[in-house]
Structure 1
Amino acid sequence: MKLNTKYHNEVEIQESEVLHFEKGIPGFPDEKRFVILPLNEDGSFSVMQSVGTEGLALVIVNPFDFFKDYDFQLEDSVVEELVLRSDKDVLVYSILTVEDPFEKTTANLQAPVIINKSNNKAKQVILVDEKYKTKHNLFGKTHLQKVKG
């Protein structure tokens, strides 16, 4: 099917690529269908594009690529809701708040997007771990040095 997007103009997607958020996502309870599209060539940044609303596209990253000590436990109810049977089925993304300049961009580690890649069920989960907030600097000094050097 053809999909008009915020960042990629019109793209062709397969129904099998569509993620299903049973209860929508916080702030967008009626948005239940999204697709993930790459944003840059190396795949480090992606977009979670709404299937129903062209202008709704959230920039996302794999948080483990930027925060090596990021770790959390999913509640049993989330595991059951997404029908997670194996760690290999789990994808985790963090939604970014993109800033100008881009180096000030932050990641929401308190509410990761959890996806079961075997059935495309997805949910944004609110963690009750006090060490994670909605705004963590994506580019720490060491990461910026690696990018620049």
Structure 2
Amino acid sequence: MNIETKYHGLIEIHKEEILHFINGIPGFKEEKEFVLLPLPENDWFYVLQSTKTAELGFVVTDPFLFFEDYDFTLNPSTVDQLEDPSEKNIKVLSILTVREPLHKTTTNLQAPIVINLANSKAKQIILNDTSYETKHLVFEQPQHQGQGE
């Protein structure tokens, strides 16, 4: 099937590549099917693209690449909705807010996307009892060279 995308133009996707968000994504409840597209020449960032709405694509990343200590527990209802995935079949992504300059880019660690790779079911969860926030800097701030800069 062909879909129009925000960053890749018109592309062909296969049915088995579609991620199914049973309840949609918070703020986009009607958007239930997405596909994960790589960004060209980049192994760290992807686009979570709606299959229905071309303008709806989120830049995402694996948060563990930038935050090694990132940790949370899935609640039982999420485990049920994802159909009890094994730990090896879980993929976690976080949505980025890309800013210029790039070192001001942030990621939302309070609302990760959890995917069961075994059945392509996905859910964005909200972590309530946590110190994680919606805007964590992804890249370290550049170090100033010398004084007066």
TM-score over 0.5 for the pair? yes
Contact map agreement 2:106 2:138 (CA 8 A) in 1: yes
Secondary structure, counterpart of 1:19 in structure 2:
strand
Unaligned runs of 5+ in 1: none
Secondary structure, counterpart of 2:79 in structure 1:
helix
Give, in whole Å, the separation in 1 of the partners of 2:89 and 2:36: 16
Q: Can you list the C-alpha shifts for 1:30-53, whole angstroms capped at 9, x where unaligned?
A: 000000000142320000000000
Contact map agreement 1:84 1:90 (CA 8 A) in 2: no
- For 1:117-136, list aligned pairs within 5 A: 117-136=117-136
Give, in whole Å, the separation in 2 of the partners of 1:119 and 1:108: 25
Q: Structure 2: which amino acid aligns with 1:60?
A: V
Aligned Cα root-mean-square deviation (Å): 1.2
Residue 88 (str. 1) matches residue 67 (str. 2): no
Match of 1:53 in 2: 53
- For 1:64-75, list aligned pairs within 5 A: 64-75=64-75
* Displacement of 1:101: 1.2
Match of 2:110 in 1: 110
Structure with higher helix content? 1
Residue 6 (str. 1) matches residue 6 (str. 2): yes
Q: Structure 1: which amino acid aligns with 2:58?
A: L
Unaligned runs of 5+ in 2: 144-149
Match of 2:146 in 1: none
Match of 1:99 in 2: 99
Q: Structure 2: which amino acid aligns with 1:117?
A: L
* Displacement of 1:84: 2.5
Secondary structure, counterpart of 1:114 in structure 2:
strand
Contact map agreement 1:110 1:129 (CA 8 A) in 2: no
Corresponding residue pairs, total: 143
Q: Structure 2: which amino acid aligns with 1:66?
A: F
Q: What is the TM-score normalised by the length of structure 2?
A: 0.92
Larger Rg: 2
Q: Structure 2: which amino acid aligns with 1:109?
A: L
Which segments of structure 1 move beyond 6 Å, counting only runs of 4 or more? none
Contact map agreement 2:25 2:32 (CA 8 A) in 1: yes
